[in-house]
Amino acid sequence: MTVTADQPGVDEARALGLTDAEYGLIVEKLGRAPNQVELAMFSLLWSEHCSYKHSRKLLGTLPTEGPRVVMGPGENAGAVDVGDGLAVAFKVESHNHPSAVEPFQGAATGVGGILRDIFAIGARPIAVLDSLRFGEPNSPRSRYLLDRAVAGIGHYGNSIGVPTVGGEVYFEAPYETNCLVNAMALGIGEQSKLVRSAAAGIGNVVVLFGASTGRDGIGGASVLASAELGADEDKRPTVQVGDPFEEKKLLECSLELLDRGLLVSLQDLGAAGLTSSAAEMASGGGVGMDIDVALVPLREAAMEPFEIMVSESQERMLCVCEPDRLADVIAVTDTWEVHGTAIGTVTDSGHMRIYRGDELVGDMPVAALVDDCPLYDLEPAAPSEPLYDPPVATLAPGAGLRGSLLALLCAPNIASRRPLFEQYDCLVQSRTARRPEQADAAVLVLDPSQDSDAPRRAIAVTIDGSGRRVAADPYRGAIEAVLECASNLACVGAEPLGTTNCLNFGNPEKPHIAWQLTEAVRGIGDACRALEAPIVGGNVSLYNEGTTGPIYPTPVIGMVGELPDAARAGGLGFARAGAAVAIAGEFAPWLPGGELAKLRGEVLPDGLPGVDLGQIRAAQGAIRAAVRAGELSSAHDIAEGGFLVAVAESCLAGGLGATLDLGPSDDPAKHLFGEGPGGFVVSGPRAALEALAQRTPLDIFGTVGGDALEVTIAGERFAATLDELRTAHGALGPLFP
């Protein structure tokens, strides 16, 4: 049958983001010029967002295998074995460019999309975390984006009944034009019932179910995430619109179909819509697929075939079933009112053939669409001059140690996130054992129905990444992000099982950005190998640049661990007056590149100190074992703002002060506020801390108690009451009047 649609040329290809060489390659593979449908499908599947054409070779260097890995990269989500036949699925993805255009729907649909990735493999979503980056909060634009993005996350998660249990928010000038909205989700399922996305079985039926297809989101995530945002571009029509109540029906329907064994494979419709889901399913199974767009349920009349194929309308799933199971599949979709419709067939042709009734409107080899996208070698080169302007100084000269502590506690990157996370339901589903600001990682009970008198197995999850540290040193900064996650898990008594990542960078075609990306991936790989916490999946978001330049290079790391008893999960707050306070672990404080340096308006350093990964892993293991044994009253890793900020946060979380005598110091500011990985503030009985000192470096220097934090160092004494600390730490409150 002859293809009948018009055949656009190279100008149309350029308009869709393809290079002349890529267009020529498409013509070569088809043996003719592509028509409108084919060009649209190629342009999306060969976009950066869908093909990872500038990063796939780098991703192949990451460690992805381990004894607990059930599903690794290449599926909708990764999964790790947590025993008793169960697996925990998890993944993090970006929705940066849509959120910069329309923050409420951009963030909301980011949550919806990552949830679909979880239940697409047969796991029930049990938690969401978010990682957010905005410009400085004194910017009206950044405050607007923050307000609306947080509202969108809360709207979707709260409505669908999945708790938002953790996350992070950073404010830095390089994110002013291009904010970052990364969403991570976790789910739990029986290993034997998990399903992969690959289509299989010649003659099997392809079924679309969920919301109807409309023009909203056409070219949305795939186009927006594959180019820099310009100041004068109106991209609002390409942002998808989400409906969490429709997704709740979709979730329950998908899980019932899988539980009843009715499906061969299942895939969600995300970026590039039906084009991506169908082609990737066909590629995964080594088969062909025929799709009839005339059968696709539409919200809008007279949609063109290419519009139907590339629409990114939300809350849709695509599945493959055997013909004799079709009636049962449709019956289940009818029960859940998600409009299941048979729209195609699995074939042995090796081609994606798109029909409109009897009219063939597109015919492409699956391999050409999915597997033969050109992959590019990066041309990394370290920048010859600083890429980022120094921050505006906000700390008054001569502020002193006490003034520096209070200024750090109210700094945008350290102040309490309570005004944000109180908009999220963190307790729905009754699994949450440690919620935000109670511990360094969220803790979730695997079986909430289990008798609480018996040990209740649990998982812990955390998400982290410091763009400023990575901008100072992409390799060591990325290592620090991985170590920070593992330290957060250690503080609650959890052992890492697996890692996910979202690589947020600028334009990889620029040598300095390629260098940032290459070095950061190298750092992530080295750290994950050292910790034996393999990468099971993730996302890449490039071209995060605006008119003012690139964002900070921001690899966001998510990590999942396990612990034997949720009741023994550690907390960060001081819990017992009279307990000894100590600094533990392999900690070497350094001021350049830290939060105090930012308040002082200092330029980024040219590099960060190296670390011994083996020593830090051993220290994390010692803290983890002490928490599990109940030997510690509190454990909190040293992060932004350094050691004294960590102590102040432990005071505030527990409602107890502390008295510290730190002895002599050549540089008190470095001692108190220097940053670096591998350090912990712990409290507990002196005998227990002395025993811990046999397993990791540890220095006891104070006692818990009172209503103030009192510090003596290098002969200087200063104090701040809990009320003063609390007032400073609540500085974000005015953002949400």
pLDDT at 222: 42
For 141-188, how does the pLDDT look when each residue is reduced to its tens digit (9 = 90+)? 999 999 999 999 999 999 999 999 999 999 999 999 999 999 999 999
For residues 550 and 504, the answer to whether their CB atoms sit within 8 Å is no
Distance CA 430, CA 312 (A): 33
| Between 6 and 557, residue with greater pLDDT | 557
pLDDT at 737: 52
Distances (CA, A) of 632 to 188, 454, 682, 710: 30, 21, 7, 22
Distance CA 31, CA 94 (A): 36
Q: Which residues contact 708 (CB under 8 A, 6 or more apart)?
A: 657, 719, 720, 721, 722
> Is residue 225's pLDDT more than 60?
no
Residue 327 — pLDDT band, cuts 50, 70, 90?
very high
> Is residue 424's pLDDT more than 60?
yes
pLDDT at 532: 97
Residue 224 — pLDDT band, cuts 50, 70, 90?
very low
> Is residue 232's pLDDT more than 60?
no
Sheet holding 86-94, edge to edge: 69-71, 78-83, 86-94, 180-190, 124-134, 164-171
For 70-102, how does the pLDDT look when each residue is reduced to its tens digit (9 = 90+)? 999 999 999 999 999 999 999 999 999 989 989
Instruction: Give the percent of the chain with pLDDT over 70.
Output: 96
Instruction: Label the pairing between strands 458-464 and 442-445.
Output: antiparallel
For 342-391, how does the pLDDT look when each residue is reduced to its tens digit (9 = 90+)? 999 999 999 999 999 999 999 999 999 999 999 999 999 999 999 999 99
Among residues 84, 115, 38, 172, which one has the least CA distance to residue 553? 172
What residues form DSSP beta bridges with 364? 352
Distance CA 43, CA 689 (A): 60
| Between 672 and 435, residue with greater pLDDT | 672
Q: Output the average pLDDT for the chain.
A: 93
Q: Is 49 a catalytic residue?
A: yes
Which residue among 54, 95, 155, 351 is the active-site one?
95
Distance CA 84, CA 487 (A): 26
Q: Is 155 a catalytic residue?
A: no
Which residue among 49, 54, 97, 351 is the active-site one?
49
> Is residue 591's pLDDT more than 70?
yes
pLDDT at 636: 98
Q: Which domains does the chain have, with CATH numbers?
A: 8-46+195-373 (3.90.650.10)
| Rounded average pLDDT over 393-412 | 95
What residues form DSSP beta bridges with 127? 186
Residue 481 — pLDDT band, cuts 50, 70, 90?
very high
**Angle separating helix axes 36-45 and 20-30, nearest 10 degrees:** 120
Tell me the three state secondary structure of residue 68. coil
